[in-house]
């Protein structure tokens, strides 16, 4: 296999101007709006009041994890959905355990 070097010539520039594509304040505001919107939508669809606090914690956990990625606005909705489903499963499991425990206590 042979490699061929190509000579590249650049102009006589002293500076390279590369402004960030997004303003950090703008991204933080959009992220906050997205988080609030998704959380409010989920809370409006949820009948069980006991899940409200769990969903708020799931939103915060998903937000923290999303900010560690390069695209938090893109990653957050999927993470939040996953964490909300996990909290719903945990609450259902806890309800089943409580129901079984109450039956056992009544027989004692």
pLDDT tens digits, residue range 20-29? 667 888 899 9
**Taking residues 65-91, what's their average pLDDT?**
94
42-66 pLDDT, tens digit per residue, is 999 888 888 899 999 999 999 999 9
Q: What's the number of domains the chain is made of? A: 1
Assigned domain for 9 exists: no
Q: Cα(first)–Cα(last) distance of the chain, in Å? A: 82
Assigned domain for 5 exists: no
- Under the banding of pLDDT at 50, 70 and 90, the label for residue 9 is confident
Assigned domain for 67 exists: yes
Range in 54-63, 81-90, 92-101 with the lowest mean pLDDT: 92-101
Q: Contact at 8 Å (CB) between 78 and 85?
A: no
DSSP string of 28-53? HHHHHHHHHHHHHHHHHH---TTHHH
Assigned domain for 14 exists: no
Assigned domain for 17 exists: no
Is residue 91 over pLDDT 80?
yes
Q: How open is the CA angle 69-35-61, to the nearest 5 degrees?
A: 55
Structure-block tokens of residue 30? 């959009």
**Cα separation values, 46 from 12, 22, 40, Å:** 62, 35, 10
């Amino acid at each position: 296999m042979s490699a061929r070097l190509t000579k590249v010539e650049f102009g006589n520039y002293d500076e390279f101007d590369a402004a960030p594509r997004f303003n950090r304040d703008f991204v933080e505001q959009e992220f906050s709006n997205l988080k609030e919107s998704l959380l409010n939508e989920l809370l409006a669809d949820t009948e069980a009041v006991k899940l409200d606090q769990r969903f708020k914690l799931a939103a915060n956990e998903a937000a923290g994890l999303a900010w560690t990625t390069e695209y938090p606005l893109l990653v957050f909705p999927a993470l939040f959905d996953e964490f909300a489903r996990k909290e719903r499963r945990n609450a259902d499991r806890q309800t089943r355990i409580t129901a079984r425990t109450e039956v056992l206590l009544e027989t004692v």
